[in-house]
Amino acid sequence: MLRLDLDTSKVDLCHALAESIARKVNEELSGRSTVTIERTVARLFGVEGVSPSGVPLANVLVDHLVSLGKVEDGVAIHLANACAVLDLSPQDVAAKVAAKEVDLGSLPWRGAEECRAKAKELTCAALAKIQARREEREELLEAYPVHGRPWLYVIVATGDIYEDIAQARMAAQQGADVIAVIRSTGQSLLDYVPHGVTREGYGGTYATQDNFRLMRAALDEESKRLGRYVRLVNYSSGLCMPEIAAMGALERVDLMLNDAMYGILFRDINAERTLIDQRFSRMINAYAGIIINTGEDNYLTTVDALSSGHSVVASQFINYHFAHLSGLKDGQIGLGHAFEIDPNIEDSFLLELASALLVRELFPSCPVKFMPPTVHKTGDIFFAHALDASFNLVSVITGQSIHLVGMLTEAVHTPLLQDRYASIRAAAYARTAARHLGQDLSLEKGGKIERRAGEVLDKALSLLKDVEAKGLFRALEEGVFAGIRRKREGGKGLEGVFTKSPAYYNPVEEGLKRELGI
């Protein structure tokens, strides 16, 4: 069997350092919350839809509390108070706030005890809904088991959810196990979640709860037809990371792109905002049984895969421990990495094999996600297809769990129907043809592959030591990851971060922590 001879004491040390890095950040930020976390609580209490002027009611409600200077207490107790005083549901309270018929600042106060009790009641109902969806998934997986490994993952990105659905059905029929609906470009920077069924987007389709519902229903039909559960992916990322986690939990999205640092690095979202939001969003994902995907593969689009491979590994350790601290189990942590070494380099295939095997062995119980080459695809679709064939083979023989199917037309356009077909066919071929090859091969002791993996691990360890010593915020300021520098007070969304008052109460977080045992 293909196995690296890794120094386990170094691996243990990496884990210890990464856990310390993540813990320090969580402790430092534990006194703060964000507007999107509060909107998530409101959504989970049943606030949905938009005001007559098109603003999501969750935003209306939280903005109202911000203007009253009450958001620091959290949305839960104020909403619970209003429900008790007015004898209305959270949805009706929000609608009345939007219509300016209710001012949460001038309602009589029922007292902390009664409000907390009411909020807990609403929380129980919300968690029960999420749990029901989780159990539903478990039942469907039993009825329609997925046998192929790695799962073949493809994207659809038309901007029109109905067009996406047709393409997703086709992809499923062609053999795809996982369908990701790429989000409209720029949604990550919206400080609200768009509402309704959408038929227009740029470079992708808006992530809305209605779109989730439509796509999940279509894939459920396909799952039944094919006898194989087809998983759905969306993005719990950007300025509304936890809100989208909640929407995904309620609509049985199966995987979420959800990274502790991606937004900071690649979307210039404020570091504190992202790190606070990721913690809460991951608790929801954990409870919903969602598999998260991290985005380390993106590092290799801005820095060289050969010289910076260790930054991917170091970041995976950090992402892993942030995830763990939020209650995600190993089986839910889909760490990302990619096949991006310059194909003109001699033995690039061996080097890719070393990296893929390293990640697989460092996180043996995690559903690691392997991303295809993109940087060295130039529009030569025939070479791109050949390069993907190598990627497919490495993925299969190193036992990757989630295989993002590479497209021959990468760098030209979003995949055409035929591109997706050709790519799925090639990946499915490798999966069948080389199914047990990894089991039958072994590595030369001290050979090129083993040496490369050892080198990357050593460099990752020394990078983690460095980050642990200076703290994650300073490391981000110095551009340790992806060569991108981000100031702690810079970036978008800092205005949505606030310090919790002594009266702050978030029953959803409390409930999730209890359920998850964290």
Considering 259, 297, 388, 419, which one is annotated as catalytic? 297
At 367 the three-state DSSP class reads coil
What are 46's two structure tokens? 């049943």
Which residue number, 7 or 200, has a Cβ lying nearer to other proteins? 200
Residue type, 416: L
Which burial class, exposed, middle or buried, applies to 446 when counting CB atoms under 10 A from its CB (0-12, 13-18, 19+)?
Answer: exposed
Which residue number, 73 or 222, has a Cβ lying nearer to other proteins? 222
Contact 37, 281 (CB under 8 A): no
Provide the minimum distance between the beta carbon of 393 and other proteins in the complex, in angstroms, as a whole number.
19
Which residue number, 23 or 425, has a Cβ lying nearer to other proteins? 425
Cα 223–chain centre separation? 23
- Cα distance between residue 232 and residue 281, in whole Å: 18
70 belongs to the catalytic site: no
Contact 134, 386 (CB under 8 A): no
Provide the minimum distance between the beta carbon of 175 and other proteins in the complex, in angstroms, as a whole number.
4
The 3-class secondary structure across 96-151, one letter per residue, is HHHCCCCCCCCCCCCCHHHHHHHHHHHHHHHHHHHHHHHHHHHHHHHHCCCCCCCE
- Cα distance between residue 196 and residue 164, in whole Å: 15
CA end-to-end span of the chain: 37
Measured CA to CA in angstroms, residue 81 lies from 39, 86, 318 at distances of 17, 8, 40
Which residue number, 141 or 166, has a Cβ lying nearer to other proteins? 166
Contact 258, 292 (CB under 8 A): yes
Considering 206, 235, 262, 505, which one is annotated as catalytic? 262
- Cα distance between residue 484 and residue 121, in whole Å: 44
Summarize as ranges the residues that interact with other proteins (CB under 8 A): 159, 166, 169-170, 173-175, 184-186, 188-189, 200-203, 266-268, 301-304, 342, 344, 374-376, 378-379, 411-414, 416-418, 421, 424-425, 428, 483-484
Contact 412, 379 (CB under 8 A): yes
DSSP category for residue 56: B
Considering 118, 369, 377, 492, which one is annotated as catalytic? 369
What are 197's two structure tokens? 């069924």
Provide the minimum distance between the beta carbon of 185 and other proteins in the complex, in angstroms, as a whole number.
5
471 closest CA partner among 241, 231, 271: 271
Provide the minimum distance between the beta carbon of 379 and other proteins in the complex, in angstroms, as a whole number.
5
Which residue number, 340 or 361, has a Cβ lying nearer to other proteins? 340
Provide the minimum distance between the beta carbon of 173 and other proteins in the complex, in angstroms, as a whole number.
4
Which residue number, 203 or 471, has a Cβ lying nearer to other proteins? 203
- Cα distance between residue 142 and residue 117, in whole Å: 37
Provide the minimum distance between the beta carbon of 487 and other proteins in the complex, in angstroms, as a whole number.
14
Say which residues have a Cβ less than 8 Å from residue 495's Cβ, sequence separation at least 6: none
229 belongs to the catalytic site: no
Provide the minimum distance between the beta carbon of 160 and other proteins in the complex, in angstroms, as a whole number.
11
Cα angle 187-190-196, degrees, rounded to a multiple of 5: 70
Provide the minimum distance between the beta carbon of 244 and other proteins in the complex, in angstroms, as a whole number.
17
57 closest CA partner among 94, 83, 89: 94
297 belongs to the catalytic site: yes
What are 452's two structure tokens? 């490369």
Which residue number, 484 or 516, has a Cβ lying nearer to other proteins? 484
242 closest CA partner among 256, 252, 230: 256
DSSP category for residue 492: B
Which residue number, 122 or 303, has a Cβ lying nearer to other proteins? 303
What are 114's two structure tokens? 């009664």
Is the backbone peptide bond immediately before 150 cis, with ω within 30 degrees of 0? yes
- Cα distance between residue 509 and residue 42, in whole Å: 13
Provide the minimum distance between the beta carbon of 266 and other proteins in the complex, in angstroms, as a whole number.
8
Provide the minimum distance between the beta carbon of 174 and other proteins in the complex, in angstroms, as a whole number.
6
Active site residues: 262, 297, 369
